[in-house]
Structure formats: C-alpha cells, structure tokens
Amino acid sequence: MNKNYIIPNEWSIIEEGFDGENTKASESLFSIGNGAMGQRANFEEDYSGETLQGSYIGGIYYPDKTRVGWWKNGYPEYFAKVLNAPNWIGIHIRVNNTNLDLNMCQVSNFRRELNMKEGWLSRSFNAKLQTGEEVEVNTKRLISVEYNEVGAIEYSVKAINFSGELTFSPYIDAGIVNEDANYDEFFWETLQIVEGKNKGCIYSKTLKTEFHVATAMNVSFLLNKKNIDLKQEVVKKEKSLTYNYNLQINEGDTATIYKYGSYVSSLNYNKHELIEAALNNVQVTSKLGFAQLITLQKKSWELIWHASDIKIEGDVKAQQGIRFNIFQLNQTYMGTDARLNIGPKGFTGEKYGGSTYWDTEAYCIPFYMGTKSSHVAKNLLLYRYNQLDKAIENAQKLGFKNGAALYPMVTMNGEECHNEWEITFEEIHRNGAMVYGIYNYVNYTQDFEYIAKFGLEVIIAIARFWHQRANFSADKNKYVILGVTGPNEYENNINNNYYTNYLAKWCIEYAVECLNKVNLEYPEDFKRIQEKTNLNGDETFNWLKVAENMYFPFSEKYNVYLQQDGFLDKELIPVSDLPKEERPINQKWSWDRILRSCYIKQADVLQGIYLFEHKFSREEIERHFDFYEPLTVHESSLSPCVHSILAASIDRMPKAYEQYLRTARLDLDDYNHEVDEGCHITSMAGTWMSIVQGFGGMRVCENGNLSFNPQIPKEWDSYSFTINFRNQILKIIVKQTEILFELDGSEDLEIRVKNKLVSISPNSLVKL
Amino acid sequence: MNKNYIIPNEWSIIEEGFDGENTKASESLFSIGNGAMGQRANFEEDYSGETLQGSYIGGIYYPDKTRVGWWKNGYPEYFAKVLNAPNWIGIHIRVNNTNLDLNMCQVSNFRRELNMKEGWLSRSFNAKLQTGEEVEVNTKRLISVEYNEVGAIEYSVKAINFSGELTFSPYIDAGIVNEDANYDEFFWETLQIVEGKNKGCIYSKTLKTEFHVATAMNVSFLLNKKNIDLKQEVVKKEKSLTYNYNLQINEGDTATIYKYGSYVSSLNYNKHELIEAALNNVQVTSKLGFAQLITLQKKSWELIWHASDIKIEGDVKAQQGIRFNIFQLNQTYMGTDARLNIGPKGFTGEKYGGSTYWDTEAYCIPFYMGTKSSHVAKNLLLYRYNQLDKAIENAQKLGFKNGAALYPMVTMNGEECHNEWEITFEEIHRNGAMVYGIYNYVNYTQDFEYIAKFGLEVIIAIARFWHQRANFSADKNKYVILGVTGPNEYENNINNNYYTNYLAKWCIEYAVECLNKVNLEYPEDFKRIQEKTNLNGDETFNWLKVAENMYFPFSEKYNVYLQQDGFLDKELIPVSDLPKEERPINQKWSWDRILRSCYIKQADVLQGIYLFEHKFSREEIERHFDFYEPLTVHESSLSPCVHSILAASIDRMPKAYEQYLRTARLDLDDYNHEVDEGCHITSMAGTWMSIVQGFGGMRVCENGNLSFNPQIPKEWDSYSFTINFRNQILKIIVKQTEILFELDGSEDLEIRVKNKLVSISPNSLVKL
C-alpha cells in the first residue's frame, strides 16, 4: 500500500493537512462529474506545485497521430485521446497584489472533503503569504446532475490579519494542453471570445474532429454575505478571457465569489447556437443561486443512492471504499446518452486513449443493470450495435471477410485506439465479451426482443470472426486458435488460451441458438437480418464444426484446464515465494521475464469460470482456484473482484474479504502506485459485483429468476445492497444472524435464497 | 522485381536517361565510401525533387530519445542513430542567375556511372534551363581510400548555346537534418566557421555525444582546361559557409570547379587540432590534384580486387551483382579500425539505428576472413570483446546475474539500440552468433590464442546467460527456453525455437571445451580469467546439465526438427500457393496474420543446419530443406544466401541459382521495394558466401585445412574466386569442364577437392 492519508468516513472522502506530495493523487480521488462532464480536483486559484490539470467533456476526443517504435501493418494511423477541455474553474486570487499559491504559502487547517451523499467537493485552509497577509479560504464546488452542462463554485476569502486590496480574477482558458499527447501538439483552436458584464464565453473547436465547444462563465460577489457589484477589468488574450475585480477589505471581512461555468458542444447543439446556449446556462443557474444548486444536487444524488447504495456496518474503510466506487461510476456514466461510455479513467485523468474497453461488457453492464432501469444497460449495448460497421471494417483490415467483426480493444467512435500488436491484433477475447454482454442483459431483463432487433447482427458478425480465426490443426485433429493474448496480458501471442477458446466456442453456439429462436419467434426480423448479413444455411453448419471440435489445453496431472499451450513448461513458483522487493513485477521486472514467468496479471481461466460458473462443478471451481490463485499477482485492477467472487462461492471467506478490500480501496489506498494519473473507474463495477455476486451470492437462475446465497465477512456487523430487477428495487440486508428482504415495487417477487424459494411482497420486510 | 533500369555491365553500375522516380534509388545504389566515411549519390548542384540527403562518418552517432507506443521495463531510454553529417559536396550552379536544378530543366543525355573497378562516381548530362540556356555538365567524384578523410569532386559546365555569367557557389553546411529522427530534433550544433581564400571550415559537434567534427572544403577553377583565379564572395550564415564565384563564359567554353572536402573528428584528433587538420587535408589533396587522386584510387581498389574479386563469365547480371556486393562491403568497412563495424545500410542510408547486428558475426566475418588478412576479422571480434561490460550490464537490466551477458540486438557503442520487446528482449539467439563468430575465426585461422587472450571471457559470459535463460520443465523433464524470437522474426515470443536451443546447447559445450583447452595450454590466462570472472568448478557442471538435457521439438511424422513448439498446429500451405497479390506478406498482411501463418521470413532451422552442417547427414539436410524451403518467403535479405548454399550442398542447382540471383541483385533489382532507403549491406556478405561456400563448396575440414566441392550453374561459362587463407591467396577457377587452382603465396597448400587431396604450390596452376 502506497498511501494512507484518506480519512475513513462513511459518506465522505476527507483529506486533512496539506502535503504537496499528495496533490496529484487527491486531484484524482476528489474528482467530480455528472456523466456528461467532469474534472479533476484541481485548485481554483493558482498552484505552482505538481499538478495534472484536467477537465473533460463526455464524447469529445482528439485523434492523435499514432506513436510506435516500429510500424506494423494493421495499426491505426490515429487514435482517440481523452481531451483536456478549456478550464472554467480558474480564479486567480491576489492579496495586496501577491498571488495566492499554496505552493508558496504557509498552509494550515487544510481540509478537503468530497461529500458523496450530496455530490459536492469542499476545501478550506488558512494561508499565510510570503508577504505576511493571512487569509482563510472556504470553497465548495459541484458539477450539477440536474443541469448537466453546468458547474458552480463558491469561493470565500476572509482577511485574518490585514486590511487591504483583494483581487478576484476569474477566467476561462482554452489554451490548455494534454499531458498525454504523442507529439506535443495543441488539440484546440480558439475561434471567438465573447465578453460581457460579469460573464463571458470562449468558443473553440478541436482540431481534426471539429467538435465545437462553448465554455462560459458567470460571476457574482458577496462581501460579508451581502451582494456587491464590482468594477470589471477585462483582459482578453489569444486563448483566454480574464476579468479582474478589486475590492478593499478590512481585517475580519469575508469576500465571496460565485463562479458558474458551462460547457455546451456541437454533440448537442447547432454550432451557431453554442455561445448563446452556454451563456444562457450560466445565467439561469446563477439566477437560481448556489444554495439552490446544492439543494438540487442533494436530491439528484438521493435518487441515485436510493437505487444503488451499499451499506456496510462495522467496517468504515470497507464502507467508504464501496461508496467511493459507486459514486465514481455514477459520476462517469449516468446512462442517459447512448453515444457515451465508461472510460477507464472516467473524468479523473487522461491516461489511456479511448473511452470503451471490454470492461464495459464484462464489468460495467452488471452494475448498471443492477442499479438503474434496464434502458441504461440497453444503451450500452446499442453503443456497440451502432459501431458494428466499424468493427467489420476493423476485421477487414486484418484480413477477415464476409462480415466478420472484430471490435476494437479501445475505442471512442468505433475505430481502434490502441497499437501494441500483442493487444490490438491479438487480445481478441474482447469480441466474446460483446456477445456475453448481450447474453447477460437478456438473461437479466428477459428482453429477448433486443436480440431480434439489434443483438443478432452483432452476434452473427462475431461468430463469423471466430469461425475464421480458428484453424484446423492436423496435428491435434481439433480446431485451434493461435497467436492470442488472453485477459492475462502477462502472456502474449500464445496458442489456445483456454478463456479465448471457450468464449469462441460459446459465442458460436449461442449465435446458433439465437438464430433458431429469432427464426421461430421473430420471423420477419430473421428475414431482414438474413438478407442484411447474407447469411446462408451452410454457414452455421461450418461454424458449429469449429465449436464442436474446439481444442482446450488440459493437464491430466493437475486435473485442470491450462491457461494456454505449454503453460506447464514454466516454473510454477507461488506468488507468496516472490521477494517483496520484486513486486509489483510490472515495475520491477523486464517484460521478457514477466512473459516467461508463470505469474498471472489478472483472472484468465478463472475469468472464464466466473462468467460460466453454472457449467462447472464446485470441485472443478475449487481445483482451478487452488491452481491459479497462488500464481496470480493481481496487477490489473480487474482481477481481485473476480477472485473475490469465486472465493466467496467456494466458502473461502478470508480470501474473498482480502480481495474485496483490494478492489474496493484500490485507488483510496493506491495499491498500484498510480492513482495520481486518475482512478480505475471500470474496475469499480467489479467492486460492486464482489458484494452483490460475491458476498451476496446473487445469480440469475435458468428460469430467469434471481437467487441469492448471502454470506457475511466476520469483520462486518451487517451489510445491505439493492438490486433493480425488472424495474422493481429489491433491498437485501445481510446480518451475522439473519437476512432481510425488502421490495420497492408493485408486484410480488419470487426469489431463491440458499436454495429455498421465497416470495416477497412489495413494501414488506421478509426475514430469513 | 520493382526496378529494372540499371544497365548490366561487368564492372560498373550504369544509369542512362533521367527519371526523377529513380532518384532516391540511385542515390543508394551509386553511393561511395571508404570505410571511414561515405555518402549517398546526392547531386552536387541543387535538386528540388525527391531526395534523401546523406553523408556519414564512421563511428559518429546520436543517442535519440526512444519512441515507443507503450513503455516496457528494460527498454533503453536512448538509442544510437546513424547520423547525417555536414554536407561537403554542395555546389550551387547558376547560369545568368538561374539556378541549375534537374527537377526544373529539360534534361538529356543523362548518364551516371559507378565504376567499381576504380572506385569513382561520374555523371554527365545536358540541361536546358527554363530561361533557354543549355549547359553540358560532367562530374566525377571519389572518396579516397588512400586519404581516408578526404573526398574530391570535378565538376565541369560547358555553355552550349549562350554566352553569359556562370556562378559556382561551393558550400559546406552543418544545418542538416536526419529524416530518421524520433522527435524532429537537430542533432548538430555549429561551434565555429572559419573562412579563407578558396577554403573554409565548419567546426561543429553532435549534441549529447559531443563528437566534434571539422568539415573543410577547398576549391579551384579551370576555364577551358586552364587554371583561373576567381573573385571570392563570402556568404556566412549561422550553420553554413558559401563562396560565390562569378565568371563570364562564351558559347562553347567549359568551366570547371574542383572541390576537395574533408571530415576529421574527435575520434582521431584532439579537439583543438581539428580545424587545422581538416584544412590541411584539403590543402594537401588539392595540391596533389584530382587526376592524381584518381590514380591513387585505382591502385587502392586494384589491391582490394586482387584479394576479393569474383569473376563470372557468361552471365553479366550475375557478374555485376557479385561485384556490386563486394564493392559495397569494402566501401562500408575496410577492417582497419576496431571501433567501427558494418552497419546494415553502410553509408548508403540512415535507416535502422546502430551499426552492428548479429549479421556481423554470422555473415560478415566469413567474408572479411576470406578476402582480407586475418587481423580484420580479429578486429571485428575485438569490437565485441571491448563491449563485454556493456553486454553484462544489459543482461543485468533484464534480471540476469553473475556476469551473464546479453549482447544487444543493435548497437553503436555496446548499448542496446532497439526497442521492440519481441526483438530486444527475446531475439537472444544473437548471443550464440557472438560465440560462433569466435569459433569460426579460430577454426579458419587456427589462432586459438585469441580465445585465451580475449574470446574466453565472452564465451563464459554467454554460457552463463544460456544457463540462466533456460529453465527446467517438470512437464517435459528437459530444459526449455521459453519466450524467444528466432531468426525467423515472423514468429514472436515462441517456446523452444530449435535454432536458439541448439545454439544455447552448443555455446555451453564449446565454452567447456575452450575452458579445458585454455586450462591446459594457457594456464596463466586460465588463472587470470578464472579470477576476473569468478568462475568456479561447479558452475560448468551446472551449465552442462542444461546443455545435455536440452529439449528440441521434433516431429515423428515428418522426421524433422520443428522450428518451435506447436509449429504443426499451423496450416502448412506452401508459399507457391499464395496469391501473388498478397506478397510480400509483410506489406500486405496484418502482423497477427503473419504470426499465426506458417511462413518463414528467413532461414531459421535451416540457418542452424547451415552453421553446423557437419553435424547433419545429407539425408537430414535434404529432409529439412524440403520441409522448410517451401514455407520460406525470404522477406529478409539474409535468407536467400543460406538457402542457396544449402541447395548447392544437396545438388539442387536450379534452386541454388534462383536464390543466388535473389541475394546478388537484391538491391540492383530492388526485390524488397525499399532500395531508396539504402542498400542491404550485411546480406552482401551472404552473396559472397553463396559463391564461395555454395557453388564453390568451400569448407574448413576438421584438421583445419580447406576443402572444396565446386559446382557451376549451367547458366555460366565459368567463375572464379579468391580466398585469403592464412595470408596466402588461393584462386579457384571453375569451368563447366575443369577446375583450376592458383596460389599466390610462399608455401605449398594441401586442400581437399571433391574428397581428393590436392597439393598446390605457389605460383603454379593446378588443373583438375
């Protein structure tokens, strides 16, 4: 564990005391957002210390020119970078003409709080300037869920030991850069700067992609809680607009600036409307006032928490961890816009180009299905449906034909945004996750119509891919899949990765099952799809030949499926025997050494067993868990949750709890030594799964009903979680001695608990 | 074949007619050099068409900052780039103030010749300017072998249809750039510009590496073959020095400028001496005069050809090809400076950082041993010996210990200059070539003392590497080598590459053999080395355990060793069945498709059989050749020669001849569609081997004597080659009906020809 400075609290993330060493980590952890826009917890005032400035608008990206060591055919020429957007939060503060900059002051009473219950960020501190003046500063900031193009700041300065001149200089600035830029290019061009009385706007566009964005601000002032009007001095530069406001304050006075900011973009408006829309946004919300925005924000978050909160009693760190995860997921994606998706860093950092990984299908869809109405998960599936043509193009580039699709490893608009050959071209198991996402959704919602209307086209294209990607090995008299990278990226270009082969076989079989069902139940859709995809009867016959004769590496000696061909040639030394100073191995070992070692970055065979648990006996699960868990270093954020869930399912509660803490507090405790770059958003959905599917033991039965097999770690007094199941909200409370169920809905619900059928009526508490 | 414009000629490379499309290819093919410096055949006068400017100084490099897609532990932070050096050849030519630029003129009678027999480059053409003036230009250029810091140009302009003003503006320019620069940085800084009467000098240094270089010029003039003195106008800029000389010429007049250029560097001088040394060089050689330099150049090349010429009668293209190969090798490396080596592009281009690959040991050492006195090959070995510490450091970076060494894949100064993990970390067979180079040299020269004095330390460090790099597979009950890339780079991160495992085993066994021999014959050296390397007795025992229990993949079905584990899982479709439009596959297929295909970029198992041919029966060779040759696409320049030699050894003369032509005329006919970037220098040594070891069937017998088994392609009337064998020069002439031997030396030589012993006396012709 690297850092341990976050103060445990049930509903808030709290930092006390100022330490420049933690600034970048805190900027990530205290990030705020509303699914449409978001930002790192950068300071409003100037800061000359280490910082990563970041403010982001969902769906706005830049296709940066690819940087490679050695070009390989099939690499994308460009790929989408998450884009640092114009700064709307900035306020230079000057006291008697000296800049307020925490890096240059004596700072005391520093406190920062991210209130997750209500959705705001606050900061307070005393700062003594080099020139001797001391101020007390209190700030509060939010990004509104209700008005999702708006953010607001309350920034108060109290003169502690002086009377003199205070200057507020709020600004907006489109002259921002990306740290993650391959060739240090500027990504934005400023088109127009509009000034006005206490408000202003910068109209800019991204280069290449030509997203047009208007960034507006509106400011107002209080002196000792009374409105005042200040003279405005305009400083207009090439890419920024600053207003200077001077006021005389006396010792003990408190001056406050309110700053409202707004982003609007050509994703949602005609270009010529943008400036007006942005200015209108800040005008409306400033009229409403900061206090009212806070009230609305509380209400918005109350609704979110109602359907998604997980309460843990008796373990405040575990409690803080899970709420942080749920909070950040909601800040990243609310599910209202099918063009958006869940970036690996959300709005907390710019690392990793693109916004969409297989994480969405394998990890995030269960979370959003379980905590929101079903149209949200459907939106996530439609995102891929809408990018099917690009996935077919992508496969064509690699030599596939006849409508086979390979979804990109990372994407923003359907095009591949990654260029390491061993990932881009070979980590093809992602294609299986696309189908699994559909299967999972239909299973949970029973919305089979989705397959007839949309999903089947995706499923066919992916079945075609697997059929073409496998080849017949005369030597093995089986179909093999050569040259892949599995979920365990510490193996590259391997043959017959168990997980990949399993998914390939399953995808084909599921495709044929869906085809038959659509043929029977939606004959018109079947005809439409048949024509659109040029599907013929022989084709599925050929697919099935591959599926039925798929090869799986297996060890007689250990009685387990092997992660890949040749895995047993490695020296199998458990992780526990590795010297501590050699871990994490991805920071200590050279890549070749990692590759030829037995160490597993993230669940791979176990990921497959997790996804298809019902196809494995308990003994099989135990055997595979006992073989692979000791070799797994969990250096991917996506790993511990899967191990936690499987451990719980085979009654290994200490291991399940250990892995739960690792996933829940991954960023808060900075296990991977990289939280300064941003939070690991997608794995947060895995944390949710470790509670709901792990300890809670939730599964979907074959008849489509829910089953639960709840357990509780001995460290906890109780925990509870809610499940949105077909638009009713079921709450499960698990105590050491009893389990309670409560249903917020209108229809009776039949569930299976520890293998007994239980019927639950709305608005009644069922005890077990 | 891409290009077919080079006119066949026994001793010259000739181009007739001007075609801008060929300019860059010709710049490569007509390159000149002397082992210490060299340059592409750029025009002296301005040229606004497509061109790759390049002038290079041996041993001068720049450590460019590494560019990667995704950083991996163990990558070098910098790597050495071949460096375009200040331009000394430039002469702006103006006619009545209009620039002469072949891209803007009507050009006729264009002819370019690279005379390989005498070592000079000439060019002649008529050019009609846009303004109507027509000139006839004749140029000749050489880079002196005798004065190896000097080059000289004769440039004549004849006024065909006008009288008027002609301006010669010779210049030197340190404001040059590298096309191959990762971040478009400048690599040179200009320190001082010295002007003088008809001479001048630019003193500059490379950034970071701080190589200091003085580039000097000296000019003189003729009008109608009579010396004239012209008024000099000086134009001094930040990074360049230009002198303008105007003269009035009448229709029919011919004006000539002689320009002498020199590079001297801090590799060979104290810094404060550089300017004087460079100016002195151009002064001395200009006094000598251009004609005298040409005479000396002829003599120098006569000596080189005497010891290395291969004559082919009846096939002028084959003749031109082999001489071009021998000529370029000599232009790249003369063997006089142990700090230099043989860059893959020599002085013909800047592609590929670094100057030294395993090509040197596997391909070039045989050539230099066979055509020069033995100290040249020894210098090449010492180059690696001198870099042993860096190779040990390099291995440490990757986690090896106890003095194990991994030589870099590409280097300039001993540090790694490559950063693709599958090559840098995994193409470790190169380490075997280091030992093979020593073995080969000692075998040929019988200079075992080299091992006692130098070689053994290298051999021990490499044996240690193999011992640590292999691991015991409990599953196979053998030692395995996992995660490698063999010579066939169309397979990455494979297990148990036959070639690599074979070399590893052999290296260890050879190390123990050498240790025992040094212990017996050079006990003092043994003691010294034992102390220096901390060698203990157990160690070799442990090495041998690995060597003796090494695993080799083998197919019972085909009765051949397999290139790697799992090779038979691939679909084995012969190259001849590939559609033509899909080749070369490295330009048409995505990387993953190449990797999972069966296609072999270059000899791999066959490379091993070539190196250790005496350990394989003829039947084994035939079986492996018949299995692998149909799957080999020869998309590496290093491949055809090995297949040609093996084909000859099993009497497949049509295949041997086909592959010979491919290697001999690779660049002249541009088989790989890339000659514009520079020539493939190191594979040219392979061409030489295909004659000497292939058709000539030369081998070294177990007793250290030479044997020959000459054959002749039916397309040739005869061919002859010479061999420098222990400082005597043996000439072998092979005709369709007889074989002749001639010895230039002082001692009788006993050789084995077609398994008969033959004794040859000096200066007598022996017929067979």
Residue A93: phi and psi, rounded to 5, are -115, 125
Rounded to an integer, what distance in angstroms lies between the CA atom of residue B684 and that of residue B330? 10
By the 8 A CB rule, do B564 and B491 touch? Answer: yes
Active site residue B742: no
Rounded to an integer, what distance in angstroms lies between the CA atom of residue A483 and that of residue A424? 12
Question: In this predicted model, what pLDDT tens digit does every residue of B200-225 receive, in sequence order?
Answer: 999 999 988 899 999 999 999 999 99
Query: Is B260 part of any domain?
Result: yes
Rounded to an integer, what distance in angstroms lies between the CA atom of residue A273 and that of residue A267? 12
**Which of B155, B175, B178, B181 has its CA nearest to residue B166?**
B155
Q: Cβ contact (<8 Å) for A73 and B472?
A: no
Please report residues of A whose CB lies closer than 8 A to that of B591. Answer: 72-74, 421, 425
Locate B375 and state its tokens: 């100290």
Question: In this predicted model, what pLDDT tens digit does every residue of A679-738 receive, in sequence order?
Answer: 999 999 999 999 999 999 999 998 889 999 999 999 999 999 999 998 899 999 999 999
Question: In this predicted model, what pLDDT tens digit does every residue of A654-676 receive, in sequence order?
Answer: 999 999 999 999 999 998 888 99
The confidence score (pLDDT) of residue B353 equals 64
Query: Is A298 part of any domain?
Result: yes
Locate B465 and state its tokens: 């590497």
DSSP state of A66: P
Residue A564, pLDDT above cutoff 50: yes
Question: In this predicted model, what pLDDT tens digit does every residue of A77-98 receive, in sequence order?
Answer: 877 888 899 999 999 999 999 9
Outline where DSSP puts E strands in B516-626: 554-555, 560-561
DSSP characters over B60-118: -EEEEEP--SS--TT--SEEEEE-PPPB-S-EEEEETTEEP-GGGSEEEEEEEEEETTT
Instruction: Examine the fold and report which residue of B249, B276, B306 is the final residue of a domain before the chain moves on.
Output: B306
Instruction: Examine the fold and report which residue of A306, A335, A362 is the final residue of a domain before the chain moves on.
Output: A306
A353 pLDDT band, cuts 50/70/90, is low
Q: Cβ contact (<8 Å) for B590 and A398?
A: yes
By the 8 A CB rule, do B281 and B149 touch? Answer: yes
Rounded to an integer, what distance in angstroms lies between the CA atom of residue B483 and that of residue B398? 13
Percent helix, strand and coil across chain A, each to the nearest 5: 35, 25, 40
Helix (H) or strand (E) holding A302: helix A290-308
Q: What percent of chain B has pLDDT over 90?
A: 89
Q: Name the minimum distance, in Å, from the CA of A699 to any CA of chain B.
A: 38
Q: Name the minimum distance, in Å, from the CA of B569 to any CA of chain A.
A: 5
Q: Cβ contact (<8 Å) for B73 and A590?
A: yes
Residue predicted with more confidence, A184 or B40: B40
ipTM of the complex: 0.90
Query: Is A606 part of any domain?
Result: no
Residue B750, Cβ neighbours under 10 Å: how many? Answer: 11
Rounded to an integer, what distance in angstroms lies between the CA atom of residue A660 and that of residue A684? 11
pTM confidence score: 0.92
By the 8 A CB rule, do A705 and A675 touch? Answer: no
Locate A471 and state its tokens: 């080849």
Handedness of CA A362, A363, A366, A369 (dihedral sign): negative
Rounded to an integer, what distance in angstroms lies between the CA atom of residue B408 and that of residue B465? 13
Distances, alpha carbon A484 to alpha carbons A353, A422, A426, B318, B589, in Å: 22, 7, 4, 44, 17
Please report residues of B whose CB lies closer than 8 A to that of A419. Answer: 69
By the 8 A CB rule, do A34 and A148 touch? Answer: yes
Question: Across the interface, which of B67, B476, B589 has its CB nearest the CB of A73?
Answer: B589
Q: Cβ contact (<8 Å) for B568 and A66?
A: no
Residue B185, pLDDT above cutoff 80: no
**Which of B285, B290, B265 has its CA nearest to residue B275?**
B265
Locate A45 and state its tokens: 């005032």
- B18: CB partners within 8 A, 6+ apart: B102, B107, B108, B110, B125
The per-residue pLDDT of chain B, averaged, comes to 95
Rounded to an integer, what distance in angstroms lies between the CA atom of residue B46 and that of residue B44? 7
Count how many pairs of residues, chain A against chain B, have C-beta atoms within 8 Å. 131
Residue B1, pLDDT above cutoff 50: no
Q: Name the minimum distance, in Å, from the CA of B419 to any CA of chain A.
A: 7
Average pLDDT of span B747-752: 94
The confidence score (pLDDT) of residue A1 equals 47
Q: Is it true that the peptide bond before B584 is cis, omega within 30 degrees of 0?
A: yes
The 3 state secondary structure assigned to B423-443 is: HHCCCCCHHHHHHHHHHHHHH
Rounded to an integer, what distance in angstroms lies between the CA atom of residue B175 and that of residue B122? 26
Residue B81: phi and psi, rounded to 5, are -105, 140
Query: Is A594 part of any domain?
Result: no
By the 8 A CB rule, do A73 and B635 touch? Answer: no
Average pLDDT of span B430-451: 97
Average pLDDT of span B361-369: 96
Unique residue bearing structure tokens 């000289």: B152
Distances, alpha carbon A423 to alpha carbons A351, A416, A506, B195, in Å: 17, 11, 22, 57
Angle between helices B640-649 and B653-664 (to 10 degrees): 160
Q: Any idea what the CATH number is for the domain that residue A762 is in?
A: 2.60.420.10
Q: What percent of chain A has pLDDT over 90?
A: 89
By the 8 A CB rule, do A674 and A638 touch? Answer: no
Residue B513, pLDDT above cutoff 70: yes
Residue B235, Cβ neighbours under 10 Å: how many? Answer: 12
By the 8 A CB rule, do A459 and A507 touch? Answer: yes
Q: Any idea what the CATH number is for the domain that residue A205 is in?
A: 2.70.98.40
Average pLDDT of span B283-288: 97
Rounded to an integer, what distance in angstroms lies between the CA atom of residue A206 and that of residue A214? 11
Kindly identify which residue of chain A lies nearest to residue B182, measuring between CA atoms: A69
Residue A530: phi and psi, rounded to 5, are -55, -45
**Domain extent for B766:** 701-768
Kindly identify which residue of chain B lies nearest to residue A75, measuring between CA atoms: B590
Handedness of CA B340, B56, B309, B358 (dihedral sign): positive
CA A322, chain centre distance (Å): 14
The per-residue pLDDT of chain A, averaged, comes to 95
Q: Cβ contact (<8 Å) for B482 and A70?
A: no
- Tell me the catalytic residues of A: 489
- A313: CB partners within 8 A, 6+ apart: A319, A716, A717, A718, A719
Kindly identify which residue of chain B lies nearest to residue A351, measuring between CA atoms: B70
Rounded to an integer, what distance in angstroms lies between the CA atom of residue B114 and that of residue B39? 13
The tally of domains found in chain A comes to 2
Question: Across the interface, which of A398, A419, A590 has its CB nearest the CB of B593?
Answer: A398
Q: What percent of chain A has pLDDT over 70?
A: 99
The confidence score (pLDDT) of residue B609 equals 98
Question: In this predicted model, what pLDDT tens digit does every residue of B242-268 receive, in sequence order?
Answer: 999 999 999 999 999 999 999 999 999
Instruction: Examine the fold and report which residue of A242, A273, A306 is the final residue of a domain before the chain moves on.
Output: A306
Percent helix, strand and coil across chain B, each to the nearest 5: 35, 25, 40
Please report residues of A whose CB lies closer than 8 A to that of B426. Answer: 592
Query: Is B554 part of any domain?
Result: no
Three-point CA angle A75, A78, A80, nearest 5°: 115
**Which of A347, A406, A341, A408 has its CA nearest to residue A376?**
A341
Query: Is A287 part of any domain?
Result: yes
Residue B354, pLDDT above cutoff 80: no
B607 pLDDT band, cuts 50/70/90, is very high
By the 8 A CB rule, do B672 and B683 touch? Answer: no
Residue predicted with more confidence, A613 or A413: A613
Helix (H) or strand (E) holding B458: helix B456-469
The confidence score (pLDDT) of residue B177 equals 81
Query: Is A584 part of any domain?
Result: no
Catalytic, out of B489, B491, B635, B677: B489
Please report residues of B whose CB lies closer than 8 A to that of A570. Answer: 471, 473, 482
Beta-bridge partners for A72 = none
The confidence score (pLDDT) of residue B699 equals 96
CA within 13 Å, CB half, B553: 19
Please report residues of B whose CB lies closer than 8 A to that of A586. Answer: 73
- A169: CB partners within 8 A, 6+ apart: A91, A92, A93, A94, A235, A242, A243, A244, A245
Query: Which long-range CB contacts under 8 A does B336-340 form with residues at least 24 apart?
Result: B336/B35, B336/B376, B336/B379, B337/B35, B337/B36, B337/B58, B337/B59, B337/B379, B338/B379, B338/B380, B338/B382, B338/B383, B338/B386, B339/B59, B339/B267, B339/B383, B340/B35, B340/B36, B340/B58, B340/B59, B340/B383
Please report residues of B whose CB lies closer than 8 A to that of A571. Answer: 471-472
Residue B496, pLDDT above cutoff 70: yes
Rg (CA), chain B: 27
Question: In this predicted model, what pLDDT tens digit does every residue of B261-273 receive, in sequence order?
Answer: 999 999 999 999 9
> End-to-end distance of chain A based on CA atoms, in angstroms?
39
Order across the sheet with A765-767: list the strands.
A310-313, A718-725, A728-735, A739-744, A765-767
Q: Which region among A341-350, B31-40, B149-158, B280-289 has the lowest average model confidence (pLDDT)? A: A341-350
Rounded to an integer, what distance in angstroms lies between the CA atom of residue B150 and that of residue B162? 35
By the 8 A CB rule, do B87 and B234 touch? Answer: no
Query: Is A59 part of any domain?
Result: yes
Q: Cβ contact (<8 Å) for B565 and A568?
A: no
Question: In this predicted model, what pLDDT tens digit does every residue of A412-441 receive, in sequence order?
Answer: 889 998 888 999 999 999 999 999 999 999
Distances, alpha carbon A317 to alpha carbons A41, A167, A307, A612, B71, in Å: 22, 41, 22, 32, 34
DSSP characters over A89-117: S-EEEEETTEEP-GGGSEEEEEEEEEETT
